[in-house]
Structure 1
Amino acid sequence: MTPLAFLLARTLRREAPLMALSVPQAALLEDLRGRTVALVGNARALATTTHGAAIDAADIVIRINRAPMPAPASHGSRTDWLALATGLPAADRDRLAGARKLWMSPKRKRLSHAVALSHGFYLHPLPDYARLAAEIGAPPTTGLMLIELLARSRMKSLSLFGFDFFASLSLSGHRSAGQVPHDFAAEAAFVAALMARDSRITRAE
């Protein structure tokens, strides 16, 4: 798709041409079959831990948005998949250039042509977003969308790092819980219920 055709599809909210750029969801989930996955959130508290080696030991390391990595000891150093709901500054684009890109946000106007044409690109379907939003009664975070999506795969395990549901705020911004449109209590309850019925999923403290 040319840059002009992409811009028109994005501006006019033509979902079909944009979805045609994505690998099918089934194919994305199949890539996880039998694999150990580390999903790294952006909680500030993660910077005080020594989880880096455990993160890098996973078969697939997934990070979110700007994917801050203050130190290898706490955050590890690999990024295999990058889940996005926002654009990236140039420095972060260069640092995370090799990662497979997953666009999770329903706001397609923020999706760039370069990301959409990157190798292995995945576009999260709008109905999936709407279903999860209805279930928790609020717009879901990128992290929650990923957890719900990954749980549908035949992965071996999913380890969550840097997920304290905004208790320690975020390394990637300075907003308080009241300044973001998410319901973190509902998200914490959703994840707790999911872990209770799916022993593959664990959360590191």
Structure 2
Amino acid sequence: MSKNLTDIITPTPGWMRFQLAKRTGDEAVLAAFSLPFDALADEAKGKTVALVGNARSLANTEQGAQIDAADIVVRLNTAPGRVTISHGARTDWLFTSVRLPREVLRDLDPARVFWASSKRKRLDYGLAKCPGFVLTPVSISADLIVVLDARPSTGMIAAATLCALPFTQIRMHGFDFFSSLSLSGHRAAKDVPHDFDAERGLIMEMAQADKRLKIIKPRA
């Protein structure tokens, strides 16, 4: 059985302070575990990034080489269905809103792990203690909720976060906004708390306003 990172944590004063901060919403204490968000600008400056979504339709493409050609490759949650020819091989940054089994992190081996969700109570202490941990600013999710009138998906949060950094190009692969469902589960659009039509519209608006952002069609 897969074990989450918290399964191997022995309670310590730091662990107890972390648990209290989660329950009370003390963002300052939680942020102390994270790389300062502003420091990411130096890593992103002048670089290209490929954001790889979990749409099932990506498996029907040969976009892997294009994905791996980016300076930074970003994946989502448990990043299922990775085949080199369609999905590429590298994972440099990982955005997640779910608890990650230890073997997933060992397999993906990202340099940076971002907790995307504004639901801080779901954050594992073990994940927060990982080298390269980044707590995505809660303001990003809060702004998206206002615009979308729905809870944003991890991919939507990742896209907004990357657009806030000085990349020279941001390519989105494997995003068909649930038209082909997701490789990460078997739920239909009606079973998830996201409005994918609203997310599609917002991404298109972002791409019009920000010429760095390119949406690579999943079946291209």
Above 0.5 in TM-score? yes
1:100 is aligned, of 103, 112, 119, to: 112
Q: TM-score, normalised by structure 1?
A: 0.94
* Runs (4+) off by over 3 Å: none
CA positional deviation for 1:91 = 2.5
Kept in 2: contact 1:28–1:122 (CA 8 A): no
CA positional deviation for 1:202 = 0.7
2:143 counterpart of 1:144: no
- Which stretch of the first structure deviates more once superposed, 116-125 or 89-98? 89-98
**Alignment partner of 1:185: what SS?**
helix
Aligned equivalent of 2:31: 19
Aligned equivalent of 1:90: 102
Aligned pair count?
Answer: 205
Superposed CA offset, 1:29-62 (max 9, x none):
3321110100000000000100001111110000
Alpha-carbon distance in 1 for matches of 2:166, 2:102:
35
Alpha-carbon distance in 2 for matches of 1:128, 1:175:
25
Mark the runs of 5 or more structure 1 residues left unpaired by the alignment.
Answer: none
CA positional deviation for 1:176 = 0.4
Aligned equivalent of 1:130: 142
Kept in 1: contact 2:170–2:213 (CA 8 A): yes
CA positional deviation for 1:4 = 2.4
- Aligned 1:3-152 pairs, distance under 5 A: 3-152=15-164
Alpha-carbon distance in 2 for matches of 1:143, 1:168:
15
Alpha-carbon distance in 1 for matches of 2:155, 2:93:
13
Aligned equivalent of 2:8: none
CA positional deviation for 1:63 = 0.3
Q: CA RMSD in A?
A: 1.4
Mark the runs of 5 or more structure 2 residues left unpaired by the alignment.
Answer: 1-12
Alpha-carbon distance in 2 for matches of 1:133, 1:37:
25
Superposed CA offset, 1:56-93 (max 9, x none):
11100000000114310000110000001001123313
Alpha-carbon distance in 1 for matches of 2:200, 2:41:
23
CA positional deviation for 1:151 = 1.2
Alpha-carbon distance in 2 for matches of 1:196, 1:106:
27
Superposed CA offset, 1:128-186 (max 9, x none):
21111101111111111111121122111011000000000000011100000111111
Change in 2 beyond 3 A, CA 1:111/1:15: same
Alpha-carbon distance in 1 for matches of 2:183, 2:125:
27
Alpha-carbon distance in 2 for matches of 1:120, 1:92:
16
Alpha-carbon distance in 1 for matches of 2:95, 2:117:
9
Aligned equivalent of 1:184: 196
Kept in 1: contact 2:91–2:109 (CA 8 A): no
Q: Percent identity?
A: 45
Q: TM-score, normalised by structure 2?
A: 0.88
Alpha-carbon distance in 2 for matches of 1:8, 1:74:
43
**Alignment partner of 2:44: what SS?**
coil
Kept in 2: contact 1:65–1:84 (CA 8 A): yes
